[in-house]
Amino acid sequence: MKKALALAACVLALAACNKMPGPDNPGGSGADGAQSAISIVPVMTRATETAFENGDAIGLTVTRTSGVYAANQKLTYNGLEFSSDLLWYPEGMDPATLAAYYPYAASAPASFTVALDQRGGTSSSDFVSAFKEGVLPTASAVVMPFKHRLSKLVVAVTNNAGYTLESVVFKGAVPTADIAADLTATASQSAGPADLTAFKIDDKTYTVILPPQTAVLTLAVNAAGKEMQQKLAEATLAPGMKYTVNVIVNEDSIKIKLSGDIDDWDDGGELDPDNSNPPSGGTEFEENLEEGWFVYHDARYEIVRLKDGKWWMARNLRYLPDGMTASTDVTAVTAGIFAPVVSDGTAAVFSTDPDVIAARGYLYQAEVALGLKVGDLTTVASAEALEGVRGLCPQGWHIPTIADITGLVGKAVSPISTNSEAPYYNGTNGSMQMLNADGFCMDAFGAVTIQDNTKTTGSLMGFMTAYPDKISSGMFCGSTYAGVTYNTSGDETSGVKNLQFYGLMPMTNKAAEAEYTCNGTKVSYRIACPIRCVRDL
């Protein structure tokens, strides 16, 4: 089965911070020359509502130029990849086409029927597949992007009557899809229409999955012992797309509207906070997990899936929203964004060198990093509501939470408990050396320290006379609320003086790289520091 908002993706270890993963090993043989088993790493191309769990199975068909090599082979998921005892053929330069689908069936499906009653969940009705040509036998797992092949309807309910809704049903939908050789799906021409009962996410949200089709659907809401219906206009539901149906429930009737906006299922479902500085301009976003990069507003960033199972940016964000510039004035305490910091051998200084900006990114105050304007946060409740927010990250990514941080490096300041199972915890601290060995490219990038919102000037953090050739400390933005101080201690009515969020604190104030640390810390919201986004699960 699958769980909401999780992602299964491949481990792409970078050999060095400026290198991408190396090529596959043609021939499908390991170091001892033995033929390698075929294994598949599943990747959902963007943020998705489902991910594979241990024990899930896919059906894989491998076709060579000479014919079918393996038909509907069952591969089982182990947490990182799908595998079985199926071996590659020995002819290493003969390419193959791989076609995989989920959920597995004993016979490769020529058709797929969704559950008519989806009140128990939609995962069993979510047909996903991947298709890849030109694959050579390899000792490495093959990365295959899986895509949703059906359509999705999300019902947004405004319940003016205050009824307890018993069910939400779509009438007149074709429940069966014909599956093509490339594992794409289209509504069956021979299947008749049926009633599909939606899954309740909460009192205001219902969802149902159905084959792509052009149809005139009727929505029925059952409540207070009666059924209220209204027909929708004819609509074409495309594969992999999510459509919103807005429903107003009155005492004796419902009013509905199928949204004219179509959200890509792989992207959709995210609600941003009041974003006064939304990302805009340039090439908005292009992502390639298989090759380990994304392009965001015309800038390319390496990304890496670390041993915590999550995708992280391997470079700091260097994005300037429209109308904003990077300040080099420490008295500009509400600038929002500052230039990066470097060492000139005697002190920390700002740099506007394009190469430095490309390497180190900009420094962002928390409110801007979290998608607001400096001065917008005035209450603890509004700060708490920002946990896991997208902020200035691209669609499908977010500013790290404390769970992301401790899941990665293990250690954070009190009262956060140490996670000794974190993959980059060395028994004492989060290890920068261990992170960078897996391609994270972490360093101490400095910060602009502004203690609280009463200060009229800041200072540059990170220079230590013992290590004059580098910046030796820094902080990174996070999205989990960590603390508050008021203008009058303990008096909420006196107004917020400072808010803190949990972030990362890299330290290179040691002689040996093996001693460099990267732990969780509290970061005051007026401090300006780098951003590393995490991909949504």
pLDDT digits (tens, 9 = 90+) for 488-502: 999 999 999 999 999
Question: Which of 129, 148, 167 corresponds to the end of one domain?
Answer: 148
pLDDT score of 161: 84
From the list 335, 461, 477, the residue with the least C-alpha distance to 404 is 477
Strand ranges in 265-356 using DSSP code E only, listed in sequence order: 286-288, 293-296, 299-305, 311-313, 337-338, 341-343, 348-350
User: Does residue 291 lie in a domain region?
Assistant: yes
* pLDDT tens per residue, range 339-349: 999 999 999 99
When pLDDT is cut at 50, 70 and 90, the band that residue 474 belongs to is: very high
Question: Do 371 and 497 share a domain, yes or no?
Answer: yes
Question: Which of 117, 148, 179 corresponds to the end of one domain?
Answer: 148
User: Does residue 408 lie in a domain region?
Assistant: yes
Question: Do 328 and 456 share a domain, yes or no?
Answer: yes
User: In a 3-state reduction of DSSP, which class is residue 428?
Assistant: coil
Question: Do 452 and 525 share a domain, yes or no?
Answer: yes
pTM to 2 decimal places: 0.54
pLDDT score of 139: 85
Q: Give the H/E segment covering residue 403.
A: helix 402-409
Classify the C-alpha dihedral 193-199-204-205 as positive or negative: negative
From the list 129, 130, 145, the residue with the least C-alpha distance to 45 is 145
When pLDDT is cut at 50, 70 and 90, the band that residue 389 belongs to is: very high
From the list 289, 291, 287, the residue with the least C-alpha distance to 21 is 291
Question: Do 375 and 495 share a domain, yes or no?
Answer: yes
Q: Is 226 exposed, middle or buried (0-12, 13-18, 19+ CB in 10 A)?
A: exposed
Token code pair at residue 170: 């779509």
The tally of domains found in the chain comes to 3
Question: Do 358 and 486 share a domain, yes or no?
Answer: yes
The arithmetic mean of pLDDT across residues 59-75, rounded, is: 94
pLDDT score of 279: 41
How far apart CA 256 and CA 153 sit, in angstroms, is 13
Q: Which of 10-14, 49-53, 239-243, 425-429 has the weakest average pLDDT?
A: 10-14
The arithmetic mean of pLDDT across residues 175-204, rounded, is: 94
User: Does residue 42 lie in a domain region?
Assistant: yes
Q: Which domain holds residue 88?
A: 37-148
CATH code: domain of residue 119: 2.60.40.2620
Supply φ then ψ for residue 338, to 5 degrees: -125, 160
The residue type of 518 is C
Supply φ then ψ for residue 53, to 5 degrees: -120, 160
The arithmetic mean of pLDDT across residues 513-517, rounded, is: 95
User: Does residue 80 lie in a domain region?
Assistant: yes
The residue type of 279 is P
User: Does residue 201 lie in a domain region?
Assistant: yes
Of 269 and 43, the structure prediction assigns the larger pLDDT to 43
Question: Do 259 and 357 share a domain, yes or no?
Answer: no
Percent of the chain with pLDDT over 70: 87
User: Does residue 19 lie in a domain region?
Assistant: no
CATH code: domain of residue 234: 2.60.40.2630
From the list 233, 255, 399, 250, the residue with the least C-alpha distance to 316 is 399
* pLDDT tens per residue, range 113-166: 999 999 999 988 999 999 999 999 988 888 888 889 999 999 999 888 888 999
- For residue 283, pLDDT over 60 is answered with no
Question: Do 323 and 431 share a domain, yes or no?
Answer: yes
When pLDDT is cut at 50, 70 and 90, the band that residue 50 belongs to is: low
Question: Which of 148, 163, 185 corresponds to the end of one domain?
Answer: 148
pLDDT score of 232: 85
Question: Do 143 and 160 share a domain, yes or no?
Answer: no
Q: What residues are paired with 6 via a beta bridge?
A: none
- The position carrying tokens 């041993």 is 307
The arithmetic mean of pLDDT across residues 287-292, rounded, is: 90
Looking at every residue in the chain, the average pLDDT score rounds to 86
User: In a 3-state reduction of DSSP, which class is residue 407?
Assistant: helix
- For residue 412, pLDDT over 90 is answered with yes
Of 17 and 387, the structure prediction assigns the larger pLDDT to 387
Token code pair at residue 441: 């490219």
- For residue 206, pLDDT over 90 is answered with yes
The arithmetic mean of pLDDT across residues 310-324, rounded, is: 95
* pLDDT tens per residue, range 218-272: 999 999 888 898 888 888 898 988 888 888 888 777 776 544 333 345 433 322 3
Question: Do 361 and 307 share a domain, yes or no?
Answer: yes
* pLDDT tens per residue, range 88-125: 998 878 899 999 999 999 998 999 999 999 999 998 89
Question: Do 364 and 428 share a domain, yes or no?
Answer: yes
The arithmetic mean of pLDDT across residues 321-349, rounded, is: 96
User: Does residue 106 lie in a domain region?
Assistant: yes
pLDDT score of 439: 94
Q: How many helices (H) and strands (E) does the chain have?
A: 5, 37
How far apart CA 322 and CA 383 sit, in angstroms, is 24
Question: Do 211 and 66 share a domain, yes or no?
Answer: no
* pLDDT tens per residue, range 419-443: 999 999 999 999 999 999 999 999 9
Q: Give the H/E segment covering residue 449.
A: strand 447-449
User: In a 3-state reduction of DSSP, which class is residue 437?
Assistant: helix
* pLDDT tens per residue, range 451-467: 999 999 999 999 999 99
Q: Which of 37-41, 206-210, 377-381, 485-489 has the weakest average pLDDT?
A: 37-41
Question: Do 132 and 201 share a domain, yes or no?
Answer: no
Token code pair at residue 230: 């209204």
